[in-house]
Homo-oligomer: A and B are copies of this chain.
Amino acid sequence: MALNGIVENINIDWYPDRNSQMPIYEQIVKYVCRKVSSGEWTVGMKMPSQRELAHKWGVNRSTVVTAMDELASYGIIECGYGGGTRIAGNTWSVLMSEQGADWNRYIRAGEFQANLSTIQIINKLEFDDYIRLGTGEPDPKLFPSEMMKDIMVELSGNMISLNYLEPLGLRKLREVLSVRLEKEGIYAPPSCILITSGSLQALQLISICMLKRGSTVFAEAPSYLKSLQIFQSAGMNIEGIPMDEEGIRYEAIAKHIKGFSRKDYDHMLYTIPTFQNPTGILMSEMRREELFSFCQDYRLPVIEDSAYSQIWFDRKPPLSLKARDRNGMVLYLGTLSKSLAPGLRIGWIVGPESVVQRLGDVKMQIDYGASSLSQLVAARFLETGMYDEYLTEYRVEMKKRRDNALKAMEKYMSGKAEWRQPEGGFYIWTTLKGNVSTDQLFRKALSQNILLNPGNIYDFASNKALRISYAYEDPENFEKGIKTVSELI
C-alpha cells in the first residue's frame, strides 16, 4: 500500500497473442483498458517507454504507437512526460462520464458510513508485516491446531451434506450453548439463542431491527461501539457515559432519559461489563447490581457484550447482568472470536424468544445464516470439552503475556504514560503524558512497522490514549514494539 506520493512504475507481464485474430494493436489497447478499468493501474502510474514495449513484445514500434495513440484519444494515457507514458484517467473518470455509470457518486449515496480512515488503514495493514500493538485478536500461534485437526478429521467422515441451517442456527450448537449458559446462571433454551457471524453481526441485526432512527444508544466512554458506524449508519445517536474504576457511571444516563418520552422506546444501553474494550475495566459486583436496578427502573433495555468474559486471570468475574435478568431485559452477546478463533465468525445472541425470532428472521434475509461448517466446528469444540481445556491453558498464557506487558511498560513507558492494570481481557488502556499527538505517533510508528490503535477511535472526545493489546504479539515482539514506541515519544 502506497502511503506516500512516489511514482510507481508499471511492470508488464503480458504478451500479445500472435495466433489471435484480433490485431496486435487492438490487443494492446484492450490490455491497457482492462488494467486501468479494473483499477490495477491508477492515475499517475508510469508505463515503460514505447521503445521498451516494442522490444519486450517483439513488435514494430509503429504497432505500439498506434495502440498508444488510440489509448491517448480515450484519455486513458498521456504521453510525453519526459519520454514516459503515464496513466491519465480511468474509465470511471474518463469513459464513464460519457457512457457508463459514475460509481463514485453511487459509492457515496448509501447510508452506511465508511470506516474511520485510521481504522481503514489498520484493517489493511494488519495483513502486512507489522508489529501489532493494539490488535483485538488473539495471537494466531495460540490457536489449538491439534484440537482443530482432530475435529476436522472427525467431521470429515460425517460431512454428508452442507446445506442451509434453521433460521436460528445449528440446533446442536444452540443446545450446547444452552447448557454452558445455564452453568453461568443464564437460563436460555435453544429457542432463545440465535447464532450470528460474530458479535459484530449481532450488533448490526439489533441496529436494523430494534431501534428507530433518531434513537439513542448509550455506551461507556470510551467504547468499542464508538469505533463502529453500525448504529450511526442506521440513524441512531451514540451517547458516551463516563466510567470509573468500577465501571459505567450509569446515573449520568438519567438526565438523558428524562428528556425522552418513555413511550418512544428510543434508547438502549450497550455495555461490556467484563474487561471492557478498550479500557479493560471490570465492573464490580455492586455496580452490576445498581446498574441492573437502574435499567429496570428506567425500562432501559441492555445489550450486554461478554466478548472477554472468559479471559479472566486470577478469579472469575462477577455474574453477568443477564444472569440477574428475570424478565428478559438484557440481550446477551457471546462470541468465540476472542477466546478461540476469530476466523470461525461464530457468535450468539441470547434474549427473549420474540426478539431472537425477529433477529433470526432478518438474518435469513441478509445472509441466510452463518457458515454451517463453522457452526459444526464450534459445536464440536464446545461439546467435546476441548474448548474448556483450551481456555484453561489460554488464560494462563494470557496472564503471562499481561504480566510481561506490564513489565515492558514499566521499563519503557514510565514517566511517559499512565496505564491501568487489567485483570483479564486483552487491553492496557494507556494515556500519554505531556504534549504528544497520538495521530502523529500512529504515523511515526507506522514508519517503524508498528501498528498502534489510537484511543481516539474509541472515544467521544479527543484523548491522548492508546489501546495497547498484549494478546496478539508474543512477549518478545511486544517488548520490541513498546521500546520503539517509547523512543518515538
Q: Which residues from chain A sit less than 8 Å from chain B, CB to CB?
A: 33-34, 37-40, 91-92, 95-96, 99-107, 109-112, 114-115, 120, 123-124, 126-127, 137-138, 140-141, 143, 145, 148-153, 155-157, 159-167, 187-189, 191-192, 196-198, 200-201, 204, 207-213, 215, 228-230, 233-235, 265-266, 268, 296-297, 299-301, 326-329, 337, 341-345, 351-355, 358, 361-362, 364-374, 377
Q: How far is the CB of A264 from chain B (nearest CB, A)?
A: 9
CA distance A235 to B266 in the complex (A): 20
Q: How far is the CB of A154 from chain B (nearest CB, A)?
A: 9
On whether the beta carbons of B365 and A345 are closer than 8 Å, the reply is: no
Q: How far is the CB of A401 from chain B (nearest CB, A)?
A: 16
A327 in contact with B123 given A163-B137, A188-B38 (CB within 8 Å)? no
On whether the beta carbons of A38 and B191 are closer than 8 Å, the reply is: yes
On whether the beta carbons of A328 and B149 are closer than 8 Å, the reply is: no
Q: Give the most central of A149, A162, A210, A300: most B CB within 10 Å.
A: A162
Question: Considering only CB atoms, which chain B residue lies closest to A197 in the complex?
Answer: B367
On whether the beta carbons of A352 and B112 are closer than 8 Å, the reply is: no
On whether the beta carbons of A372 and B355 are closer than 8 Å, the reply is: no
CA distance A329 to B173 in the complex (A): 42
Q: How far is the CB of A399 from chain B (nearest CB, A)?
A: 21
Question: Considering only CB atoms, which chain B residue lies closest to A377 in the complex?
Answer: B373
CA distance A235 to B112 in the complex (A): 13
On whether the beta carbons of B102 and A265 are closer than 8 Å, the reply is: yes
Q: How far is the CB of A64 from chain B (nearest CB, A)?
A: 21
A115 in contact with B153 given A163-B137, A328-B37, A344-B373 (CB within 8 Å)? no
Question: Considering only CB atoms, which chain B residue lies closest to A109 in the complex?
Answer: B212
Known: A38-B352, A200-B368, A230-B366. 14 other contacts (CB 8 A): A39-B353, A39-B354, A95-B327, A96-B328, A109-B211, A109-B265, A110-B208, A111-B213, A138-B163, A163-B341, A164-B342, A343-B371, A344-B372, A370-B371
A159 in contact with B137 given A99-B327, A103-B352 (CB within 8 Å)? no
On whether the beta carbons of B127 and A166 are closer than 8 Å, the reply is: yes
Q: Of B40, B215, B228, B367, which contacts A200 at CB under 8 A?
A: B367
CA distance A341 to B265 in the complex (A): 41
A328 in contact with B92 given A153-B153, A374-B374 (CB within 8 Å)? yes
A354 in contact with B92 given A123-B364, A160-B140, A366-B230 (CB within 8 Å)? yes
CA distance A143 to B188 in the complex (A): 34
On whether the beta carbons of B149 and A33 are closer than 8 Å, the reply is: no
A328 in contact with B213 given A123-B364, A140-B163, A352-B103 (CB within 8 Å)? no
Question: Considering only CB atoms, which chain B residue lies closest to A293 in the complex?
Answer: B99
In the assembled complex, which residues on chain B have CB atoms less than 8 Å from the CB atom of A355?
Answer: 103, 106-107
Please provide the 4 A-B residue pairs with the shortest distance between their CB atoms, ordered closest to farther: A39-B353, A343-B372, A140-B161, A152-B156
On whether the beta carbons of A110 and B209 are closer than 8 Å, the reply is: yes
Q: How far is the CB of A278 from chain B (nearest CB, A)?
A: 17
